[in-house]
């Protein structure tokens, strides 16, 4: 959520930003907020005057009663009743208008960075860098589900019976590899100075509304029937929600956290859900990183965070590239975002395995996350980034480490987490 002062002082900038995100249907919200904000300020002025009058009335009534002028005192009392009724009406109207302003403000997208490419959708995202040489072996690479099944590591048929499409069983060495990658990612981030956290896997609706846009909420979140609880789509949700309505001491910033959690997503509106694959699924596990920092530090942390993910994948000998997300591909709260994509030698193209985002103070304003300075309390900046998210990244792992005989080699960094197993056959 942006600062309402920006709408008051520079509504054209806000409108131009909406146009850059190809959300012209939201343009009327800016004028609506301006008009509603003006009404609220007029109502508050009237309310302040009436409350001041009420105080004067109280003094007058006391003086008149002491002087025995009961009739005059009764007239003023009637005025007080009318005055109070009007104050109550104003307070009710003000609350209703402020609720509408908040609703509109939460739909207006965050101001995007100047260097964000302008484009309607992810087809206009721009490649930034590549890391490690993307190779295609001289033997055919089967579909990833076939490889995993031959290694006795995947069972989607049973999962379809127990849970439906988009679920899976991982077994044996592949299940161990899945856990090994998460454990390695955890230690990798701890060694970077991040604090390891296991958060709640369910959050209240107020937190959901604070961490994401309404569109994302409808497309992603599973709600627990009959309760004000949602299953998290990523641990970022509960990690940021932890600081809701918190004033953080300035010397405690930056807060750097890495979290493990299962994640649950509807994938509503997604097309081409792979019948037997594990690319687009409703349940997965992820190692995440979250940073809460001062505004002047967020750009620096943004660069550090996506570089950590690249470093992790390179250490596992998986070629990756970075892709700068264009304006139309940014969720409403994002200032800028960069995807990390891994190389698929079977498809001869890259696919997304993680995303790094700087949300400036958009989440902090929604959730009331501030830090204390000598000049007052300031909204913090929040950032999040995927460290690694198996089982999707298993696709890149097995394709890039597959051998001609069908075995999969394990890179050296994972040996300690695999009981020194160096090859899965």
d(CA 187, CA 333): 30
Extract the tokens encoding 412: 């050296």
> Does pLDDT of 266 surpass 90?
no
Q: What are phi and psi of 367, to 5 degrees?
A: -100, -10
Beta bridge partners of 342: 320, 351
* Mean pLDDT confidence for 212-241: 88
User: Closest Cα to residue 332, out of 253, 183, 420, 217?
Assistant: 217
Extract the tokens encoding 6: 């920006």
Extract the tokens encoding 336: 């800028």
Helix (H) or strand (E) holding 206: helix 205-211
Which segments of 141-282 are extended strands (E)? Answer: 154-155, 169-170, 195-197, 202-203, 222-223, 230-231, 246-249, 255-264
* Mean pLDDT confidence for 45-62: 74
Encode pLDDT of 138-192 as tens digits.
999 999 999 999 999 999 999 999 998 889 999 999 999 999 999 999 999 999 9
Amino acid 59: pLDDT:
60
Q: What angle separates helix 392-401 from helix 172-190, to the nearest 10 degrees?
A: 100
Domains identified in the chain and CATH numbers: 4-105 (1.10.287.40), 122-424 (3.30.930.10)
Q: How confident is the model at residue 412 (pLDDT cuts 50, 70, 90)?
A: very high
Cβ contact 126:148 at 8 Å: no
> What is the reported pTM?
0.89
In the block, tokens 């994972």 appear at: 414
Cβ contact 410:421 at 8 Å: yes
Encode pLDDT of 341-383 as tens digits.
999 999 999 999 999 999 999 999 999 999 999 889 999 999 9
* Mean pLDDT confidence for 260-279: 72
Residue 321: how many CA atoms within 13 Å on its side-chain side?
A: 16
């Amino acid at each position: 959520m942006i600062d309402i002062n920006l709408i008051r002082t520079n509504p054209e900038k806000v409108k131009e930003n909406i146009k850059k995100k190809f959300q012209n249907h939201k343009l009327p919200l800016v004028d609506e907020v301006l008009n509603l904000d003006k009404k609220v300020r007029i109502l508050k002025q009237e309310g302040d005057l009436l409350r001041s009058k009420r105080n004067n009335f109280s003094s007058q009534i006391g003086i008149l009663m002491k002087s025995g002028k009961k009739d005059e005192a009764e007239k003023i009392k009637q005025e007080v009743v009318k005055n109070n009724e009007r104050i109550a009406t104003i307070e009710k109207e003000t609350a209703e208008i402020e609720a509408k302003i908040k609703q509109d403000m939460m739909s207006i997208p965050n101001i995007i960075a100047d260097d964000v490419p302008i484009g309607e959708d992810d087809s206009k995202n721009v490649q930034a860098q590549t890391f490690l040489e993307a190779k295609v072996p001289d033997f055919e690479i089967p579909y990833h589900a076939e490889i995993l099944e031959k290694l006795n590591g995947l069972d989607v048929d049973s999962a379809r019976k127990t849970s439906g499409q988009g679920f899976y069983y991982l077994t044996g060495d592949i299940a161990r590899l899945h856990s090994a990658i998460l454990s390695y990612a955890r230690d990798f981030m701890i060694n970077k100075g991040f604090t390891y956290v296991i958060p709640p896997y369910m959050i209240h609706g107020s937190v959901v509304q604070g961490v994401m846009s309404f569109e994302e909420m409808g497309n992603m979140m599973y709600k627990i029937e009959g309760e004000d609880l949602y299953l998290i789509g990523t641990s970022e949700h509960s990690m940021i929600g932890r600081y809701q309505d918190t004033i953080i001491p300035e010397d405690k910033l930056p807060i750097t956290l890495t979290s493990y959690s299962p994640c649950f997503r509807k994938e509503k509106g997604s097309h081409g859900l792979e019948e037997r694959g594990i690319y687009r699924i409703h349940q997965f596990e992820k190692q995440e990183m979250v940073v809460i920092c001062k505004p002047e530090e967020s750009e620096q942390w943004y660069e550090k965070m996506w570089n950590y993910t690249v470093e992790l994948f390179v250490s596992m000998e998986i070629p990756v590239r970075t892709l700068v997300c264009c304006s139309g591909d940014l969720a409403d709260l994002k200032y800028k975002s960069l995807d990390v994509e891994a190389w698929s030698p079977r498809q001869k193209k890259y696919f997304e395995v993680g995303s790094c985002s700087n949300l400036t103070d958009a989440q902090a304003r929604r959730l009331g996350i501030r830090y204390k300075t000598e000049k007052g309390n300031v909204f913090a900046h929040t950032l999040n980034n995927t460290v690694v998210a198996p089982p999707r990244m298993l696709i890149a792992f097995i394709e890039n480490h597959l051998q001609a005989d069908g075995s999969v080699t394990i890179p050296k960094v994972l040996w300690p987490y695999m009981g020194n197993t160096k090859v899965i056959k």
